[in-house]
């Protein structure tokens, strides 16, 4: 099998937001080496969902650390929503949206999750609103009515929950996470939490050298 790079993220994960420029750079550098796949982790689902002030009470302190370590900025619009504390955090809808987008335009998936997190964490857009996904569908040249229709189909919800199950199988409980898959049951973890581009390149190149030495 071709080597696969598996990136596990969650649209509501602040560290994934900070990691997004890194993962885009990794994809650009290694696009001829790996088949790239993105999975939604389902970080906030079921009984863990609710207003951000309830499900993530330390958010106001934690986001500053993300900014300091990653260089990413959280927008004033999002910080205003954070102050209100009423934005509902639930990973289900953005995960379903990713499943729908994969079918519509698989070659642009990394761009989609980057833009989606910009909308949430910089522009303060509601991750549960149809309007957010209509906007991104139009932005990528996809029929927005069809996109929203698909988001309400059971099959794409099932696809999202299947990805959550795959993330659990890989024992991912911190995001972002990334693996190199060299065979059906052989995985190398190259990220658990935020890492710089230089660190990612070093880890990836070490795995590639190890695999080459085994041939």
The Cα 115–Cα 63 span in angstroms is: 19
Q: Are 191 and 177 in contact (CB under 8 A)?
A: yes
What domain range includes position 50?
A: 4-214
pTM tops 0.85, yes or no: yes
pLDDT band at 105; cut points 50, 70, 90: very high
Query: How many domains are contained in the chain?
Result: 1
Q: Are 193 and 174 in contact (CB under 8 A)?
A: yes
Strand duo 4-9 + 35-40: pairing? parallel
Q: What is the pLDDT of residues 150-195, one digit of tens each?
A: 999 999 999 999 999 999 999 998 899 999 999 888 999 999 999 9
The Cα 146–Cα 46 span in angstroms is: 27
Question: What CATH number should be reported for the domain holding residue 25?
Answer: 3.40.30.10
Please report how many Cα atoms fall inside a 13 Å half-sphere around the Cα of residue 142, on the Cβ side. 25
pLDDT band at 205; cut points 50, 70, 90: very high
């Amino acid at each position: 099998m071709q080597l696969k790079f598996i990136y596990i993220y969650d649209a509501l994960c602040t560290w994934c937001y900070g990691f997004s420029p890194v993962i885009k750079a990794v994809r650009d550098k290694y696009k001829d080496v790996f088949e790239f796949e993105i999975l939604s982790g389902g970080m906030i689902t079921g009984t863990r969902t609710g207003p951000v002030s309830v499900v993530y009470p330390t958010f106001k302190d934690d986001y500053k650390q993300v900014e300091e370590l990653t260089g990413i900025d959280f927008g004033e619009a999002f910080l205003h929503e954070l102050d209100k504390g009423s934005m509902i955090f639930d990973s289900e809808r953005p995960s379903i949206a990713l499943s729908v987008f994969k079918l519509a335009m698989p070659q642009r998936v990394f761009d989609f999750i980057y833009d989606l997190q910009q909308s949430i964490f910089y522009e303060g857009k509601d991750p549960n609103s149809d309007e957010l996904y209509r906007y991104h569908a139009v932005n990528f040249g996809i029929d927005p009515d069809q996109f929203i229709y698909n988001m309400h189909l059971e099959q794409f919800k099932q696809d999202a929950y299947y990805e959550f199950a795959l993330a659990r199988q890989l024992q991912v409980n911190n995001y972002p996470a990334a693996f190199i898959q060299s065979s059906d049951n052989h995985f190398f973890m190259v990220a658990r939490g935020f890492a710089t581009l230089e660190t990612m390149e070093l880890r990836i190149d070490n795995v590639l050298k190890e695999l080459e030495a085994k041939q």
